[in-house]
Amino acid sequence: MANLFSYDFRYDDNEHETETSEAQKEVEDRIGRVYMRLVDPQTLPLGGEIDDTRHRLLRSKHEQFINDSIHGLSSVFTVLDSSRPWIPFWCLNSLDVMGSDIDDRLRRHTTDTLRRMHCPSGGFRSDPWQLPHLASSYAAVMALVVVGGEEAYSVVDRHAMYRWLMEMKQHDGSFAVHTGGEIDVRGIYCALVIASMLNIMTRELVSGCAEFIARCQTFEGGIGPYPGVEAHGGYTLCGLAALEILGCTDVLDLGRLAKWMCVRQMPFEGGFNGRTNKLVDGCYSYWVGGAFPLLQKALRRSANDDYLYERPALQRYILACCQDTRLGGLRDKPGKHPDLYHTMYCLIGLSLSQHYVGVDPAQEIAEKSSVFSVPARMMQWGAVSARSKIIGARINILRPVHPVYGISFGPLAQGIKYFYSLPPLAELLV
């Protein structure tokens, strides 16, 4: 794609209009108008080239958008009441990835807020009358890791968390997201991220997880929520990341997976969609884009090979189309409103497209079957500075992010160092 702009890349419905094709054309019209403003007029006779030097990450606006959200959301956001642990995660992780200051007052406030959401029997919930939920627990644990420090880490009762995770564990290797709740790949991902972060991995906990994920791979090549259901970008990232934690990505047909992932990048827009014949969406900058470093390692490709997608095209979509220049924050696509969810996932997707993050195949740890190899394998990941690809001004550069955990390497390393200095779970259960 390079920086060439041409309407020849637009979707072709072969003169068979559908509701889907009309929606696609409408999105392309909006994005085309954005890109045309960035085209160097002198290049139009040759098709048009976008001037990528003009891209700027609006850091101060995004910081203000996030800080305003931290200090009070309108009544519109009552729909997120059951997802309250996600709000501090989206906010703090966005600030951290941008390298913005997270002051001590905000750290204490976040810690106190999440402490009230911790359930004595394990897991996190928004309110005392709600059930603890795997997704909320994942968000709470990762928010506490971003906050950092013993006061934040000690909010989690590891023993109770393990018991609760085992209660959610199903006979087929999956996890229910809450008592009596749905079962899908997302639950496995959340459970394994929590367990690998807190040093509570056991063979009993991970038993059957890899096999369940393998059964979720579809004929297209991507991963669905559970066997027999359409492949989806979010579940593909969750499944692949969970298998990376387990050290067994080879249970998948990686060739088919690679093909499915590659065609998720839209040729005109530059961003990703999440399913076949769906529209581009900024959040898939992570949910699909973040899966490419994991695929790269699974295929044993080196930094010299680069990822199997066009990194500058994704950055161009995020910086030109997903930033709200008036309100701050990032969004799904032009014409949509910014929100905290899209702000975080656009930012970490942008980071992963800027930095080549991976593991040198020659240095990869051979022992993968033991749950005790997890911290060493996870911290083998790192950014290769010589392979960075950053468009626009240097102000656009974000902190490198670990593709499995979706947070930057600094707080991740500190969290792993703390939790793996604690006694292993086997001693806690004696």
Q: Which of 91, 119, 216, 283 is catalytic?
A: 283
At 117 the three-state DSSP class reads helix
Q: Has 342 been annotated as catalytic?
A: yes
Number of H helices, E strands in the chain: 19, 2
Residue 222 burial (10 A CB sphere; 0-12, 13-18, 19+): buried
Decide if 33 contacts 25 (C-beta within 8 A).
no
Q: Which of 91, 339, 345, 377 is catalytic?
A: 339
Q: Has 104 been annotated as catalytic?
A: no
What whole-number distance in Å separates Cα of residue 328 and Cα of residue 58? 7
Which residues make beta-bridge pairs with 383?
A: 357
What whole-number distance in Å separates Cα of residue 50 and Cα of residue 43? 9
Q: Which of 138, 226, 284, 317 is catalytic?
A: 284
Q: Has 283 been annotated as catalytic?
A: yes
Q: Has 159 been annotated as catalytic?
A: no
Give kind and range of the element (H or E) at residue 135.
Answer: helix 134-147
Give kind and range of the element (H or E) at residue 233.
Answer: helix 233-246
Q: Which of 163, 215, 256, 278 is catalytic?
A: 278
Q: Has 184 been annotated as catalytic?
A: no
Q: Which of 158, 209, 238, 281 is catalytic?
A: 281
Those residues whose C-beta lies under 8 Å from the C-beta of residue 129, and which sit 6 or more positions away, are none
Q: Which of 125, 133, 275, 402 is catalytic?
A: 275
Q: Which of 96, 184, 324, 332 is catalytic?
A: 332
Cβ count near 323 (within 10 Å): 24
Q: Has 281 been annotated as catalytic?
A: yes
Q: Has 284 been annotated as catalytic?
A: yes
What CA–CA distances, in Å, run from 92 to 25, 32, 55, 376?
36, 33, 24, 26
Place of tokens 């696509």: 333
The residues annotated with a catalytic role in the active site are: 232, 275, 278, 281, 283-284, 332, 339, 342
